[in-house]
Amino acid sequence: MIADKLKKALRELLPDAMVQTLGEERELAAFVVTERFASMPEIQRQRFVWSELALHLNEREQRQIDFVFTFTPAEWREAQHARAAS
């Protein structure tokens, strides 16, 4: 399953991260939360994550992933708080 392969690749890249996936095989998203992202702008986070995924997933598998959301723990808490308030 692509979701399992995605989680494994992300956990190898960021062993301290909280990793969640959402969706099915063709509409898959991942949420990655780690303090390591604190010093990186969003574009750098995406490049960092996708460069590693390119080593573990073939092109077809990469196309099945709609988005990888990257958060610091503080950003994640804020997003969860905002979601609960709405």
Domain locations in the chain?
2-85
Whether this prediction's pTM lies above 0.85 is answered by yes
Q: Each residue of 45-84: pLDDT tens digit? A: 999 999 999 999 999 999 999 999 999 999 999 999 888 8
CATH topology of domain 2-85: GMP Synthetase; Chain A, domain 3 (3.30.300)
Q: Once rounded to an integer, what is the mean pLDDT over residues 16-44?
A: 94
Residue 26, pLDDT score: 77
- Tell how strand 65-71 and strand 27-33 pair up: parallel
| Helices 42-56 and 2-13, axial angle in degrees (round to 10) | 120
